[in-house]
Amino acid sequence: MKFLDLTLRLEWVAVAVAALVFYAIAGVSWWLFAVLILAPDLSMLGYMAGPRVGAVAYNALHILILPVLLALVGSVFDNAMAIAVALIWIAHIAVDRALGYGLKLSSSFQDIHLGRIGR
C-alpha cells in the first residue's frame, strides 16, 4: 500500500473514531447504531435499475454533504436524534473509505473514484 493511500485511509479511520466518540458522548442507544450502521448500503438496490441509477443512488448516500447538514440542523434545533443519525451515517461513510471503498462510477459497481475494487 502506498504512503498516500495509507494516509488517506488513516484519515478516514480518524473520522470514524471521532464519529463514534461523539456518538458515545451523545448518550443515544447503541441499538440505534446497530440498526442503522448499514442503512446507507440499501442504496445499492438502485443497481437493480442499472449501473447509472445505482451509482447515483449509492453516491447520494455515501457523500458527507447530507449527514453533515443533518448534524448541523440537529445542532441548531437541539435534536439529539438527528445528530445521532448523522454520526452513524458519517461513521458508515468513514469506515467504507478506510476500507478502500469509494464513490461509484456509472460504468460498474466495482468501478470507484479510487480505482477498481478487487484489483
pTM equals 0.91
Q: What is the pLDDT of residue 105?
A: 78
Q: What is the pLDDT of residue 119?
A: 52
Separation CA 73–CA 41 (nearest Å)? 23
Q: What is the pLDDT of residue 100?
A: 86
pLDDT digits (tens, 9 = 90+) for 5-40: 889 999 999 999 999 999 999 999 999 999 999 999
Please, what is the end-to-end C-alpha distance for the chain in angstroms?
12
Q: Which residue shows C-alpha cell 478506510?
A: 98
For residue 117, give every residue at least 6 positions away whose Cβ sits within 8 Å of its Cβ, in sequence order, or none. Answer: 100, 101, 109, 110, 111
58: number of Cβ within 10 Å: 24
What integer is the mean pLDDT of 77-87? 98
Separation CA 59–CA 106 (nearest Å)? 10
Q: What is the pLDDT of residue 2?
A: 87
- C-alpha grid cell, residue 26: 451523545
Strand-pair category, 104-105 with 108-112: antiparallel
Q: What is the pLDDT of residue 113?
A: 62
